Amino acid sequence: RDRDRREIYPAPIDAIFGALETSGEIDAVLPEMDVITWRGNLSKLLTCAWNVNEAWTMEAELVNRCVVLNVRETEDSLRRALTRDDREERMCYWGYAFEESVCAEKPFEEPVDCLDCFCSVVRTKLGTLNVLMCGEVDCFDSDDGDLASYVELKTTRVMNDPRQVKKFEKEKLLKWWAQSYALGVRRILVGFRDDVGKVVKLQMLETLKLPGYVAAHEGAWNARDGLRCASLV
């Protein structure tokens, strides 16, 4: 996968079918599905009611009675990825380095691998639709390996005033909620960093509680409308 989104098709859909073939469940699972997609496409649908600044696109193909959604980058997002400056590249690295420091038994003994990732394939419901979805999982905190143990890892700049907190809750938490909720990830470990990339605070957030943080804000997003919008689209 293209973690830096520098290709028009950064996450080929055939990887999902390959996982089903490897598991031996492809013939049993596929006939029951209404939608097959990467998690990123569903996240876009869950947030589209409040997204007024970022353009997005996806490709849809009807195969028998199943809609297959393919991830497709916009020209603008490709241009931004290809023209990132040193500061932006460094900030991307900070995120990968945080994942390395949290997950590795001996962090930074080898160069941080920005391409290595683990993905989970899950079956879920969106309204009346049966959805087969694949998404990257950062880590898990037990030996169970089930959805309850999955943890998303995020970094963000430490906030110094109420205006920054409000913007964080209305915009960034929306994306985090959609991403984690879609795949069934229940917890998000956040590393709050300073301007030189040093993590100064850790906080564990519960995915299902994120909508409550913004409920008091005027025009805030909410889970019910996000799910309704996604199912209608």
- In-domain check, residue 195: yes
| Res 87: pLDDT | 93
- In-domain check, residue 8: no
Count of C-beta atoms within a 10 Å radius of residue 56: 18
Tell me the per-residue pLDDT of 144-160, one tens digit each, with 9 for 90 and over.
Answer: 667 889 999 999 999 99
| Res 116: pLDDT | 76
- In-domain check, residue 19: yes
Listed residue (119, 130, 21, 124) closest to 65, CA to CA = 130
Tell me the per-residue pLDDT of 6-64, one tens digit each, with 9 for 90 and over.
Answer: 788 888 889 899 999 999 999 999 999 999 999 999 999 999 999 988 899 999 999 98
- Between the alpha carbon of residue 100 and those of residues 106, 107, 179, the distances in Å are 9, 6, 20
State the pLDDT confidence band at 109, using cuts at 50, 70 and 90. confident
- In-domain check, residue 133: yes
- In-domain check, residue 144: yes
For the record, the structure tokens of 214 come out as 């913004």
Question: Mean pLDDT for the chain?
Answer: 91
Contact 118, 154 (CB under 8 A): no
- In-domain check, residue 110: yes
Tell me the per-residue pLDDT of 57-91, one tens digit each, with 9 for 90 and over.
Answer: 999 999 989 999 998 989 998 888 889 999 999 99
- Between the alpha carbon of residue 10 and those of residues 71, 74, 77, 188, the distances in Å are 7, 11, 12, 24
pLDDT (average), residues 158-166: 94
Total number of domains in the chain: 1
- In-domain check, residue 3: no
- In-domain check, residue 54: yes
- 154 forms bridges with which residues in the sheet? 190
Domain that holds residue 118: 14-232
